[in-house]
Structure 1
Amino acid sequence: MRRLILMRHAKSDWSHGTSDHDRPLNPRGRGAAEALGNWLRAEGFVPDVGFCSTAARTRETCALLNLPESCTVTHLRQLYLAEPDEIIATLRQRTSGDTLLLIAHNPGIAAAAVALLQDTPDQDAFGRYPSGATTVMDFDIDSWADLAPGSGGLRAFTVPKQLV
């Protein structure tokens, strides 16, 4: 059994005038990222391995989750604005970790969640996959190399608005 947590970065700050890659979170986004971390811990969805886009807003989201020191996080440039096929290919290349967290961007992260799930959540927010949207899914596989579209069982879905 393997568990995957797909998270869109929290709300970013458009007022900085920086490049898209360097855009940080806004205050609401920082609070949302902390709330998401609290939710992950409270629900027992603590990852042992994390993968994160190199963009400032994804890195900041990841840092504010307050993951345990035992969770190794790798920042991958290929996840910056990645398409769903690239996200799934990145996951298939993993050799360790029973519970993976992947933090990336829309529209790729939302499309990857749709592609991997057997059944999508019956929530309007899932269709929008807003900032901070997080899907937790389980797979009956022994290796991440066996990850297949349409094989994920929905375990949970939340958005920061439900938590704050």
Structure 2
Amino acid sequence: MKTIVLVRHGKSSWDYEVSDKDRPLKERGINDAHLVAERFKNENCVIDFAYSSPANRALHTSMIFMRNLGFSLNDFQVNEALYDFSGQSVQSFVESLDNKLNTVMIFGHNYAYTSLANSWGDQYIENVPTSGLVQIKFDVAEWSGISKGATEQVIFPKHLKQ
């Protein structure tokens, strides 16, 4: 069994004249990431390793999750392949993961994450929103063999706000 946890970065700010990779999170993005991370923590899912896009907004979101989950940064890496919007690079990255890892969390971007959630999962998702989390389980022994899995969990900020 292999499980992927896709997390789209939190809401970013367009208030600064910086490159796309350097765009920071808005306050709402920070708050939503904390909200989703806290809810995910209650699921007691054991993550073997976590990876993030190098973009500031994805990296900041990943750090919020890592802190909330009490996750060791020894099991965390930034990877350029996750700075992808189509999903092709992310898919290749996931398919080449070390098979010793069973559950991996990755932080990145749309359109890639909505596309992958729909092609890998068995539940249609119109759009993975900012700070949205989608967990998909595959009945395979190797990452290279993933295709269609079961969408086990979807946590979106709007579902947690009252």
TM-score under structure 1 length normalisation: 0.88
**Residue type of the partner of 1:85?**
Q
Identity %: 25
| Partner residue in 2 for 1:34 | 34
Report the secondary structure of 1:127's partner residue: coil
Q: Give the C-alpha shift of residue 133 in structure 1.
A: 1.5
Alignment of 1:1-164 (within 5 A): 1-65=1-65, 66=67, 67=69, 68-69=71-72, 72-95=75-98, 96-117=100-121, 119-121=122-124, 126-148=125-147, 151-164=148-161
1-structure distance, mates of 2:74, 2:104: 9
Report the secondary structure of 1:59's partner residue: helix
Q: Give the C-alpha shift of residue 19 in structure 1.
A: 1.1
Contact 1:48 1:71 in 2 (8 A): no
2-structure distance, mates of 1:158, 1:81: 22
Identify unmatched segments of 5+ residues in structure 1: none
Contact 2:36 2:132 in 1 (8 A): no
1-structure distance, mates of 2:74, 2:34: 16
Q: Give the C-alpha shift of residue 14 in structure 1.
A: 1.2
Moved over 2 A (4+): none
Q: Please, what is the CA RMSD of the aligned residues?
A: 1.6
2-structure distance, mates of 1:70, 1:104: 17
Contact 1:2 1:99 in 2 (8 A): yes
Q: Give the C-alpha shift of residue 89 in structure 1.
A: 0.9
Q: Give the C-alpha shift of residue 128 in structure 1.
A: 2.2
Change beyond 3 A, Cα 1:152–1:71? farther
Count of residues in Structure 1 that have an aligned counterpart in Structure 2: 157
1-structure distance, mates of 2:4, 2:84: 19
**Residue type of the partner of 1:28?**
R
Q: Give the C-alpha shift of residue 161 in structure 1.
A: 1.7
TM-score under structure 2 length normalisation: 0.90
